[in-house]
Amino acid sequence: MSEHEMGFVVELSSDVKNRQRMTADFRKFITGLEEGKFLATKCKKCGKKFMPPRFTCPCGGTDLEWFEINPEGTLYTWSIVHFAPEGIAKQTNVPYVLGVIEFEDELRLAAHMKGLTSKPKVGMKVKVAPQELENGNLAYFIKPA
């Protein structure tokens, strides 16, 4: 990709199903994704919220409840990656665009960006959305809102 032809951005490596050891807690997050929801956690002891979800809290709390977050937010920061780490390079083309979306309560999530028609801009309205890949696996991407 040259800098003139953004818009393209690869879909991959964010293939969350196949690249994770599936713990019961993490499965809950994936199940949410399959239903189109982004699930975060909240500690019942101290009230702190986590995205990406944590399953235990630094306060010592182990009882956390899931809640759905509004998938819309703003782009907190970004990077256009031209050299991937070797383990990722086999599965993705470069360059790819990485974004960090900021939701309500200053919760943030990193993911690949899709659907850009120009260079990403900090503060632009974006949303995060799950998407089934051609191979049937599931991924999620940050897209312009």
**Which residue, 59 or 122, is less far from other proteins as judged by CB?**
122
**Which residue, 63 or 86, is less far from Zn ion as judged by CB?**
63
C-alpha to C-alpha distance for 1 and 7, rounded to whole angstroms: 9
Q: Which one of Zn ion, other proteins, none interacts with residue 129, CB within 5 to 8 A by kind?
A: none
Region binding Zn ion by CB under 5 A among candidate stretches 12-20, 24-32, 55-63, 129-137: 55-63
17: CB partners within 8 A, 6+ apart: 30, 137, 138
Please select the residue that binds other proteins; options are 30, 39, 88, 145, rule is CB under 8 A. Answer: 88
- Residue 85 sits at the vertex; the CA angle it makes with 82 and 91, to the nearest 5 degrees, is 85
Tokens of 102: 């900021």
Tokens of 119: 């260079």
Q: Summarize as ranges the residues that interact with other proteins (CB under 8 A).
A: 13-16, 19-20, 26, 51-52, 76-89, 92, 95-96, 98, 100, 108-112, 120-123
